[in-house]
């Protein structure tokens, strides 16, 4: 066919049906513009009605840009409109804005809806309909919003999935079962996990209490966040994380007597969907790196960390008992997190 084409949408969220249409359209023209139409009022309403967290247009623009970065004839544009609903969208004004933004004669318009034909304001362009029956990819953004992202996870592109992953962090003091629980939960929920980066550093330098000096702790916090980011790209609905910045601050004070404002700043910026706080009621294990095994010291450190969490307004769930009881308790709270997320979108778990 050749020429200049465009395909538009809200991409709220971007799904595999969109991906199919974009790739099909890219094969049919010399230059394809993917136009993200966004309205703060309308898009906010759609997310609120569906019970999902808002998806800023910048996030959707990033999804699209990442998706097409290796498609040489495809460009992504964002065009804002003032509609407060789909019904109030001004097609004539929207077409004028899109034409102005593209700045070239439009030869082809791609969509999956023949109903758009009489309302499109591009008389000079041919309307090409792609997979109207959705036989290739049986999904729509409306369906995903109404039924839940997790119910259609297989239709969510890899570039989009990290935005919707729920993050579960496991915290506690020395030898309270954090690492074991984190690994086991990841296995049960078929996903990935983030190891405690501070422990990795301890293993590299050969100890924690005397060798790990103050300058290491900001590095630990930064390194841990990078590990989280990397794991998030691979996670399957859930990401389990062993330790975070508040615990790093706790260990910094414990080992060096110093605290770092930067660690508090990292803690303020981090966001987790579920906090699991471990009681120190399992046997202390000497693995060559741990040094605070006395019962009174363990309890003191535990209460100190609890106080740090409380001072920062963290809502957490306390787990206690043997390893099986901790695992079962954690699973109940994780399942509730998934259930609550699904119920907000109006679906069950069946």
Q: Rounded to whole angstroms, how far apart are CA atoms 131 and 24?
A: 10
The pLDDT value given to residue 6: 95
Q: How many residues does the chain have?
A: 350
- Going from the N-terminus, what domains does the chain have, and what CATH number goes with each? 4-147 (3.40.50.620), 165-344 (3.40.50.300)
Tokens representing 139 are 């999904």
Q: Rounded to whole angstroms, how far apart are CA atoms 174 and 254?
A: 11
Please compute the mean of the pLDDT values over residues 34-45 and round it to a whole number: 95
The pLDDT value given to residue 119: 83
The pLDDT value given to residue 204: 64
Among 308, 303, 298, 292, CA closest to 250: 308
Assess whether pLDDT exceeds 80 at residue 203: no
Q: Rounded to whole angstroms, how far apart are CA atoms 344 and 51?
A: 5
Mean pLDDT, rounded, of the chain: 89
Q: Are 4 and 30 in contact (CB under 8 A)?
A: yes
Collect all residues with Cβ–Cβ distance below 8 Å to 338 and sequence separation of at least 6.
Answer: 150, 166, 237, 238, 349
Q: Rounded to whole angstroms, how far apart are CA atoms 126 and 109?
A: 6
DSSP H/E element including 341: helix 323-344
Q: Rounded to whole angstroms, how far apart are CA atoms 262 and 76?
A: 37
Could you tell me which residues are annotated as the binding site?
A: 15, 42, 111-113
Among 232, 236, 254, CA closest to 334: 236
Question: If DSSP codes are grouped into helix, strand and coil, which group holds residue 77?
Answer: strand
Which of 143-147, 194-198, 341-345 is predicted with the least confidence, judged by mean pLDDT?
Answer: 341-345
- On the CB side of 105, how many CA atoms lie within 13 Å of its CA? 7
Q: Give residue 347's pLDDT band: very low, low, confident or very high (50, 70, 90).
A: very low
Question: If DSSP codes are grouped into helix, strand and coil, which group holds residue 120?
Answer: coil
Could you tell me which residues are annotated as the binding site for NAD(+)?
A: 15, 42, 111-113
Give Cα 99 distance to the centre of its chain.
34
Assess whether pLDDT exceeds 50 at residue 289: no
Handedness of CA 238, 243, 246, 248 (dihedral sign): negative
Q: Rounded to whole angstroms, how far apart are CA atoms 25 and 33?
A: 10
Which of 158-167, 246-255, 313-322 is predicted with the least confidence, judged by mean pLDDT?
Answer: 246-255
Residue owning tokens 């318009």: 109
243-264 b/e (C-beta count within 10 Å ≥ 16 → b): bbbbbbbbbbbbbbeeebeebe
Assess whether pLDDT exceeds 60 at residue 349: no
Tell me the backbone φ, ψ of residue 147, rounded to 5 degrees.
-105, -10
Strand residue runs (E) in 118-188: 126-129, 166-171
The pLDDT value given to residue 255: 83
Assess whether pLDDT exceeds 50 at residue 324: yes
């Amino acid at each position: 066919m050749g020429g200049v084409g465009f395909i538009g949408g809200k991409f709220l969220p971007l799904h595999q049906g969109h991906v199919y249409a974009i790739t099909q359209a890219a094969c049919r023209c010399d230059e394809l513009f993917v136009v993200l139409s966004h309205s703060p009022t309308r898009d906010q309403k759609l997310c609120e009605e569906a019970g999902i967290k808002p998806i800023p247009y910048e996030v959707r623009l990033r999804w699209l840009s990442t998706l097409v970065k290796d498609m040489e004839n495809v460009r992504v544009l964002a065009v804002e409109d003032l509609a407060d609903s789909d019904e109030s969208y001004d097609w004539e004004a929207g077409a004028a804005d899109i034409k102005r933004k593209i700045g070239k004669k439009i030869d082809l318009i791609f969509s999956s809806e023949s109903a758009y034909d009489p309302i499109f304001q591009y008389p000079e362009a041919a309307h090409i309909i792609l997979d109207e029956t959705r036989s290739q990819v049986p999904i729509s953004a409306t369906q995903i919003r109404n039924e839940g992202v997790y119910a259609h996870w297989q239709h969510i592109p890899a570039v989009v999935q990290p935005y919707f992953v729920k993050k579960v962090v496991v915290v506690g003091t020395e030898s309270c079962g954090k690492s074991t629980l984190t690994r086991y939960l990841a296995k049960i929920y078929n996903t990935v996990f983030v190891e405690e980066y501070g422990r990795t550093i301890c293993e590299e330098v050969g100890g924690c209490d005397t060798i790990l000096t103050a300058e290491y702790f900001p590095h630990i916090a930064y390194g841990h966040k990078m590990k989280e980011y990397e794991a998030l790209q691979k996670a399957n609905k859930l990401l389990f994380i062993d330790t975070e910045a508040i615990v790093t601050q706790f260990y910094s004070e414990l080992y060096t007597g110093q605290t770092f404002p930067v660690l508090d700043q990292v803690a303020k910026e981090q966001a987790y969907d579920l906090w699991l706080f471990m009681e120190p009621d399992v046997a202390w294990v000497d693995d060559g790196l741990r040094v605070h095994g006395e019962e009174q010291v363990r309890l003191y450190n535990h209460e100190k960390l609890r106080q740090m969490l409380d001072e920062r307004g963290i809502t957490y769930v306390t787990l206690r008992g043997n390893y099986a009881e901790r695992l079962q308790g954690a699973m109940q709270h994780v399942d509730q997190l998934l259930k609550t997320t699904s119920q907000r979108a109006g679906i069950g778990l069946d």
